Amino acid sequence: MKTSTKFKTFLIVFFIAIFAIIAARHFIGLHFQKKFSIRPAPGVIVTKVEKSIFYNSIETFGTAIAQNSKSYRIKKSDILGKLNIDNRFVKEGEIILNLRDGSNILADFEGKLGKREIAQGVLGTESLIVTLDDLKRVVIDIKIPENYVSVLKPGLKAEITSSAFNKVFNGKVETISSRIDPSTRSILSRVLVDNSKFEIIPGQLMTIKIIYDETEEIGVPESAVTIQGNTAFVYIVEDEIAEKKNIQIGKRNFGRVSVLAGINEGDVVVSEGVSKVRSKAKVKIINP
């Protein structure tokens, strides 16, 4: 075979091979494009829009004191018999101490006994003070900034907590001062707290949350709301199709946001997986 013929044959085979490679890549690309071009519906967790209690609150601190207390100053040498005071509960009229002169110290009201030792040189080394505290309810005096005067009123609910307890105590605003303190620009208020289990003791520092403007409104989880500038929106789901809805939001409590306009009670909104959702697109509900 002549050299020119061999060269022509080589060129023909070479171009056929190149064409075959290009064609193969083209058809393989079409295959994978067809296979993966359809994006699977994102999995989301949804929540039904329901009514909840929402409110505003004022938070502050205060020291608990007994609603009613009394102190009895006596000398140890005047006590007849064994001293039985610490953590003892007495009823009204019950004998607290028997004295050597034949008299008795009686409880003026039902409460818990305690004692305070007196430093030497103050009332004498033999003196002590017996305390009686009515602990069924305790009071906490708090100072509220004057800008809350318009909402502060007797009877408002209060939630009281302390680092010593993993619980919330219930209380209410009992009284409000008639004057604002000009030096602190605050008004003095007294909160009455239910302490029927005698857990709070006088002198304990408590955190107080005053509840006001309490309303029942429809709400959604905070995770369902997306805020962009001055616009807030959620995605509602119907027949597994998501639709973007602009909403007007209100109060926030316990991880929920009240919705004033834009959606209705009973609507189903995306609460988790919002970032994967697009309006008018299909979603896959994966609620447990």
Domain boundaries, the chain: 43-55+216-285, 57-62+137-215, 72-134
Q: Determine the pLDDT at residue 180.
A: 94
The domain 57-62+137-215 having CATH identifier 1.10.274.30: the answer here is no
> pLDDT tens digit string along 1-57?
456 676 667 667 667 777 777 777 766 766 655 554 566 888 888 999 999 899 999
Whether the CB-CB separation of 202 and 66 falls below 8 Å is answered with yes
Q: Determine the pLDDT at residue 223.
A: 92
Q: Determine the pLDDT at residue 105.
A: 87
Residue 66 tokens, joined: 């007994």
pTM of the model: 0.67
In angstroms, the CA 124 to CA 151 distance is: 51
CATH number of 43-55+216-285: 2.40.420.20
Q: Determine the pLDDT at residue 97.
A: 85
In angstroms, the CA 276 to CA 243 distance is: 13
Q: Determine the pLDDT at residue 121.
A: 52
Cα atoms in the Cβ-side hemisphere of radius 13 Å centred on 245: 23
In angstroms, the CA 250 to CA 228 distance is: 16
The domain 72-134 having CATH identifier 1.10.3470: the answer here is no
Residue 73 tokens, joined: 């100053």
43-55+216-285 shares its CATH topology with 72-134: no
Residue 211 tokens, joined: 């509840």
Residue numbers in the chain where pLDDT is lower than 70: 1-4, 6-8, 10-11, 13-14, 26-27, 29-39, 117-125, 288
Q: Would you report the helix, strand and coil content of the chain in percent, each value rounded to 5?
A: 15, 55, 30
